[in-house]
Amino acid sequence: MLEAKNLSKSYGSHKALNNLNLTIGPGEIFALLGQNGAGKTTTINLFLGFIEPTSGIALINGISVAENPQETKKHLAYIPETVMLYPNLTGLENLEYFSSLAGFDYSKQDLSELLATAGLQNQAFKQRLGGYSKGMRQKVGIAIAVAKKAKVLLLDEPTSGLDPKASNEFSEILKNLTLHGTAILMATHDIFRAREVASRIGIMNQGHLQSVLDAGSISANELEDLYLKTV
Ligand SMILES: Nc1ncnc2c1ncn2[C@@H]1O[C@H](COP(=O)(O)OP(=O)(O)OP(=O)(O)O)[C@@H](O)[C@H]1O
């Protein structure tokens, strides 16, 4: 579970994030929309412990990120816009390496199954990651998240630059993860995907979370209208 309580981050007098209150429960996908500079990445970075809050608290499974950064990191996985793994290692070797860092010792068979479940084609398992497409790298990122048994997944613009089929596949993989109780926070510019994949959608503007919507109860057109009125 992810929780922000009165969470704020300022750079000098500029409030990049202004008093965020948000809870994302197990099995929930929360999509954060907002124009460039709205505060989406700042929010993710606060949960990752990459930056310290100016005030308020970010919690992962009830544990404060600022006070226990090592502990909270164990519970989460992060997929940035560009997944940066080791280009000279294969998909399988990357997965093996990152899951061993997290303390898991999987057999080759288990690792292959993790990659297959994340949607990677068999023939890619033993190819160097440097030759992978963005979509393929993200699948390795998902496999790592599952291998780590991460309870929380943070994603920053995961579908930007993916073709519609890869993007659709990615959405399906995320939905599958929620069946295992993963809580997902996803920053995105993709209104269409946000509505399709998320349970709730937040619209952020100048550091404020201005609206929170139930994705099932709003049409794509309504969401776009609201977005354009908000930002
Ligand atoms: N290290 C920093 N120093 C100063 N200002 C910063 C820093 N990091 C972010 N900001 C500012 O904080 C605000 C929020 O930035 P943030 O990266 O969270 O936006 P975003 O919603 O993720 O945008 P994008 O969609 O472009 O990724 C912006 O005004 C940005 O310029």
- Please give the number of the atom of ligand 1 that sits closest to the Cα of 35: 25
- Which pLDDT belongs to residue 160? 83
Average pLDDT over residues 30-53: 96
User: Which ligand 1 atom sits nearest the alpha carbon of residue 204?
Assistant: 21
Identify the residue whose C-alpha is closest to ligand 1 atom 29.
37
What does the pLDDT read at residue 42? Answer: 97
CA–centroid distance, residue 16 to ligand 1 (Å): 6
Residue 164 Cα, ligand 1 centroid: separation in angstroms? 27
Q: Which residues contact 29 (CB under 8 A, 6 or more apart)?
A: 174, 175, 178, 184, 186, 197, 198, 199, 200
Mean per-residue pLDDT of the chain = 93
- What is the Cα–Cα distance from 123 to 121, expressed in whole angstroms? 6
pLDDT, tens only, 130-139: 999 988 998 9
pLDDT for residue 167? 86
Q: Is the CB of residue 212 less than 8 Å from the CB of residue 57?
A: no
- What pLDDT score does 230 carry? 86
Question: Measured on CA atoms in the order 126, 132, 138, 141, is the torsion positive or negative?
Answer: positive
In this structure, the residue with its CA closest to atom 7 of ligand 1 is: 11
**Can you tell me the mean pLDDT for 190-195?**
91
Residue 202 phi/psi, 5-degree rounding, is -110, 140
Residue 59 has pLDDT above 90, yes or no: yes
**Domains of the chain (ranges, CATH numbers):** 2-81+151-230 (3.40.50.300)
Q: For 92-121, how does the pLDDT look when each residue is reduced to its tens digit (9 = 90+)?
A: 999 999 999 889 999 999 999 999 988 899
Tell me the sheet residues that pair with 77. Answer: 153
Whether 155 and 184 have beta carbons less than 8 Å apart is answered as: yes
Task: Give the position, in ligand 1's atom list, of the atom nearest the Cα of 17.
Answer: 14
Residue with CA nearest ligand 1 atom 8: 42
Mean of pLDDT values over 206-228: 93
- Percent of the chain, pLDDT > 70? 100
C-alpha dihedral, 130 to 133 to 138 to 141, nearest 10°: -20
pLDDT over 90, % of the chain: 77
Banded pLDDT at 18 (limits 50, 70, 90)? very high
> What pLDDT is stored for residue 166 in this prediction?
82
Which residues line the pocket of ligand 1, CB cutoff 6 A?
11, 16, 34, 36-42
- Tell how far the Cα of 131 is from the centroid of ligand 1, in angstroms: 31
Q: What is the position in ligand 1's atom list of the atom closest to the CA of 51?
A: 1
